[in-house]
Amino acid sequence: MVKLKDGRELGHREHVNRGASDRPLSEEEIVAKFMENAATALSVEAAQRVQEAVLGMDGGLAAHALSAVLAGRR
């Protein structure tokens, strides 16, 4: 809820959050959300390496390779 200087209160409530089974996110939206959140703790380059490693697991990237990226060794 936001209260304006003129006293009005404005608000909006999502009955089903985006990302829930009834409102799934696309892969592009998931990646964008990850990058936004990761940027608060990692450099853009490090976040991109994590993103690529996670998405690469679908193509056969081993878990130990992901672990190395998360630990900053790659």
- The structural domains of the chain, with segments of one domain joined by +, span 2-70
Q: What is the pLDDT of residues 33-64, one digit of tens each?
A: 999 999 999 999 999 999 988 888 877 777 88
* Listed residue (14, 16, 47, 13) closest to 33, CA to CA: 47
Is 70 in contact with 50 (CB distance < 8 Å)?
Answer: yes
Residue with tokens 């990646």: 31
Q: Inform me whether the pLDDT recorded for 68 exceeds 90.
A: no
pTM across the whole model: 0.64
